[in-house]
Structure 1
Amino acid sequence: TFFLRLPFRRAVGRDAVPTVVAGDIMVGRKALVVDDHEFNRQIMTDLLGRMGATATSAADIESARDAFLKNTPDVVFVDFELAGQVGADLAKWIRTEAPTGRDVPIVATTAFEVDEVRRQCEEAGMDGFLAKPVTHVKIAEIMSRIEAIRAGDAPPTPWTATEDHSMASSIDLLAGGDPEKRAKLLRSPWKVLLEETAQALRHARRGNLTVCGSHAHRAVSAAVTLDLRPIATLARDLNLAANAGDPEKTLALARKLQEAVRSAHDQDTG
């Protein structure tokens, strides 16, 4: 009898082999994530990686086209409201011009689901719709439904993921039980929300409504990620007022938004 002792270290970080989550619906797939919000791209690509997929990302339609042609993804997740662009335009290009684009599942993501957004997505040839915050559970559900519909095993409606899962579950998953990593993940959307809110108010005061609306749009996404729905709604109202060219309403909403964000941040940080 003999014993052999081999030294080893526990795999951490990039060396670790993560457990695949939310079933095997995404295992082995190539995914393209298109979102103008850096944190959203990071979270979605990390989640898809944990689900067994290989994900690339793009911040706008032009770079998304390049990524599509280079990587030939098996599925595309595209934010409906990109900065100065509409995700439906990318879907139309994929369906009509991109090689192999006719059969690729395309899923829209957005902070607010409204009938007009859904109509534009359907007309552009998209397959599904995910309300932010996007989680691994929602991704698995919508992909399973798309496959069932295409196989003729399910009716084509409802068109969205029905389960309402908090972003907290996905943050906890990515943090892996590490409180410091979890706090670090949440600092990014808070930083974005505070900065975008301040910029929105600054430009509202100067009468730069178009720029104010762009900052409000990014504030919506950050607020949804933090599960701050009332603040997300307020930022959305600000975006609409700015885009409508109403300076008085825009300024009033920008002030109200900053007060709400500061109050929520003070409560969160204790």
Structure 2
Amino acid sequence: MSVDKVVARAADAIADIARGSSLGVGGFGLCGVPGVLIDALLARGTGELRVVSNNCGVDDGGLGLLLRRGLISRMTSSYVGENKEFARQYLSGELEVELVPQGTLAERLRAGGSGIPAFYTPAGVGTPIADGGLAWRYGADGSVAVASPPRETRTFDGREYLLEEAIRTDFALVRAAVGDRQGNLRFHASARNFNPLVAMAGRVTVAEVEELVEPGELGPDEIHLPGVFVQRVVPVRAGDPAAGKRVERRTVRARQEGTVGHGSDT
């Protein structure tokens, strides 16, 4: 029996995300960000969200839209990036932030989706990550109000490792290039960096898809994430402003007059 997981409206797909929910969000920079689902969550105004994502978008895009509205209370991420509001809220004590090495964050999500409660890693050994005391939240006076705890360490084959716990979230929002009605997904290029891992770690995963196909149209080798990890599929409507793809920072060199061919801007 075929299971159709398609939800026509993004607003309906995220309607049960409650205040204070933990939320995994896919994307890398502004690549592969589920903008339609974020826009629906912004319109709903659900606050006190505890978000896990590689980064927090930019000031006027991606997760930065939720942050600017004060809807995020805690971020677990590996990169502050171009978001000045992220830094401002963290340093002023408005936002709790757990910064995690990028590879460790990816593995914590993968472990959560694979049923592995924790794992040992050499990343962070001999640093404040292992020792604890990193500022997760500042007080209004600049003091450390919430500090990271010390990690359990253990030696394997003469090398020290520290224990990292897996991440599971109440919900996960991801974006895929192609998805079928059963939730099987294919991602494009760098959008594959964190989206599959975030989807695995979510107890309820909602995927917005740029192209919706019928079951069987995606070949087995084309599927990057099987539908068992996805509960809802939202087709992206053509022309939806929230579905646009932005460049985080566009850098071009100055045009050189009279140059053509390889290496030129013409």
Q: TM-score range by the shorter chain?
A: 0.3 to 0.5
Q: Per residue, is there more strand in 1 or in 2?
A: 2
* TM-score computed with the length of structure 1 as normaliser: 0.32
Bigger helix share: 1
- Scaled by the length of structure 2, what TM-score is found? 0.32
Bigger relative CO (Cα 8 Å, ≥ 6 apart):
2
